[in-house]
Structure formats: C-alpha cells, structure tokens
Amino acid sequence: MHAKAELLVQAHLNHLLQDIREFATIDAEASAFIDWIGTQPLSSLMSLELLQRLAEQQLLALSATDALRQEVITVIQHGLANAVCEKTTLADLTPEHSPELIVKAIAGQKQLREKIVHAFFADPTTAEVLSQTIQQTITDYMENNVIAKKVPGVSGLMKLGKGMIEKATDSNLDDALQFYLKKNISGIMASSEKLTNRHLTEQRIEQTLLRLWAKNKSQPISAIRPYATPQILQLASQLTHQSWEHLRHTPFVRTQLLQGLEGWYLRNANRSVQNLLADIHITPELIRTELRAVVEPVLQLMLNEGYLRQRIEGLLRRFYGSAEVSTILEG
C-alpha cells in the first residue's frame, strides 16, 4: 500500500470513529432516513407477493419450537403466582358496563339458541339419558315415596297399582316403563324441546347470566390457580401446538391468510409508511427516541471492544489499497 494511502486510512478511520463516538452524525442521518422512509408509500417498499411470501414462510412454514411453548407456560405460571392476583378481582379487569352489554348480546341470539337446543334434543345420547332419568325417577317414586311411608294404607295402594300395571302389561314395571319410553321418546323429546325454548326466554337468560356474574365478579384472579396446574398447562400447550400444527397445513388457513393480506395490501398500498404506523400510535419521534436508547449504547460497546475499528479499517484498506487509488496517489 502507498505510504500516503496508509496515512489516509488512519485519518479516515479516526474521523469516522470520532463521528460514531459523538453520535451526532449517526443521529442526524438516522433521523433523515426516518423522515424519508416515512413519506414512501407501502407499494414502493414491498410488493404484495413479497408480503404474502414472508407471511407464509414465517407463520405457516415454521413449527413453534419447544422453547417457545415452554416460555409461554412459564410466563403464565409467573403471572398467576404474582401477588397482585390476590388483590385483583374479575370486576377490576372488566369495564363497568361490559358484562351487561355482553349478556344482552348473548341473550338476544334467539335463532342460535334455538339451533343449540334443537341439536341437543336431537342427539341420541340426550334421548337415552332423558329416558333413563324418567324411568329411574318413576321407579324411585314408586318404591321410596315419602307419603306412602307416613300415611297408613298408601303404601299398599302403591304396591297394588304397581302390581296391576305389571299384570296388565304382562311384564315388571321397569320393563313396562322402558317399552313405553322407547315407543314415545321422540314425542317426549319434541315436547321437551318446545318447553325448553318456551322457558329460555331472553329475559331469563339475562337474569341467569347476570346472577352468575354477580356471584363471581368479586373472585380474585388467584382463584384460577387450582385449575392451572403444571400438568394442565402442559396439556393445554400440547393440544394447542397439535391443533396449530394441523391447521397451518390446511388450505383453509393458507387461503384466509393470503387473501386477508391481499385485501389489507390493496386497501393500504398507496398510504405512506408514516400514515400506516400512525394507526398503531407509532410516530417518527417515537422511533427516533427508541432507536437512540437502543443504538447509542450498542455503538459505544462496539467502539470500546474495538469491533468497529477492525471492521471499518478492513473496508478502508480495501479502498485505499485499490489500483485506482494507487494510481491517483502516484500521479
């Protein structure tokens, strides 16, 4: 390397390091870059295809790591163990009128409610449970009736009635009840569905839900702890992981993600970066402030350890040692 080139390398290196140490030049350049990029429309910085590819690559193509899942569990455990949970109630975390509004919204879903009731009574399991309950209730009433035990003669009449039923049907009472219920359960289920819909009025549902809220709103958040044991959290984590592992490979999730991004991009392609960031309360001044807080101490650390000197000097030597610079210095 030319002797003058060596001197230029050291002079240039010291100049750059001094600028970095004082931070003013970097601060000014970063601020100017933030202002410039803030005026650029989204479409000039990123295409829809690139956005979709990045989202698909980072959200759908990668599996959640075990370390991340364990970290989530640890955060939940520490959160529930925090002493503030003892002093914080459900009501403290709920806006004043939200429960009433939510209850009204739920109670007002008449069509959905009737669909759920119909599905419940149309299920064969419900018919089986209801049939067995009716049969057991009648049998218990016949055998353990309080009045029959206390009033003389009633017990005998009950037994007589039971005997007459068994004689008339040529079977014992249990078999007779079972035959009747099997034959008529469809009608019983239909009547039960109508009766349920008649009783599950909007007003009754509201009252029930509000009573439930009133009963539990003063419970501390710490009341959740018995239901959030390490075993339960591990199981919930595994089930969530398995569900996402399945979902992220389905055409449904991929289509929703890509078409959702396409809709958002088309609505916002011509908006500036600054305008987009303002939607989430990020301003240029906030970016500058936070960058200074993070970058300045990192740069100082890189200066103190000699990392920047080594990297910059290598680049400068490549330039000043080039044939073009040597020709200029020797000319």
Q: What is the pLDDT of residue 138?
A: 77
CA atoms of 299 and 295, how far apart (whole Å): 6
Q: Is residue 157 part of a domain?
A: yes
Q: Are residues 211 and 271 in the same domain?
A: no
Q: Are residues 35 and 103 in the same domain?
A: no
Q: Are residues 165 and 276 in the same domain?
A: no
Q: Are residues 313 and 268 in the same domain?
A: yes
Query: What region, left, alpha or beta, does residue 282 occupy, with left being phi > 0 and alpha being psi -120 to 50 degrees?
Result: beta
Q: Is residue 234 part of a domain?
A: no
Of 184, 219, 254, the residue that ends a domain is 219
The dihedrals phi and psi of 220, each to the nearest 5 degrees, come to -70, 155
pTM of this structure? 0.75
Q: Is residue 81 part of a domain?
A: no
Q: Are residues 177 and 253 in the same domain?
A: no
The answer to whether the beta carbons of residues 5 and 329 sit under 8 Å apart is yes
Q: Are residues 132 and 210 in the same domain?
A: yes
204-243: pLDDT as tens digits: 999 999 999 999 999 999 999 999 999 999 999 999 999 9
Q: Is residue 93 part of a domain?
A: no
Q: Is residue 61 part of a domain?
A: yes
Q: How many domains does the chain have?
A: 2
Q: Give the confidence band of 1 by pLDDT, cuts at 50, 70, 90.
A: confident
The answer to whether the beta carbons of residues 270 and 64 sit under 8 Å apart is no
Mean pLDDT, residues 140-165: 54
Of 219, 248, 274, the residue that ends a domain is 219
Q: Is residue 79 part of a domain?
A: no
The dihedrals phi and psi of 217, each to the nearest 5 degrees, come to -65, -25
Its domain, for residue 165, covers 98-219
Q: Are residues 248 and 212 in the same domain?
A: no
Q: Is residue 103 part of a domain?
A: yes
Q: Are residues 205 and 271 in the same domain?
A: no
Q: Are residues 183 and 109 in the same domain?
A: yes
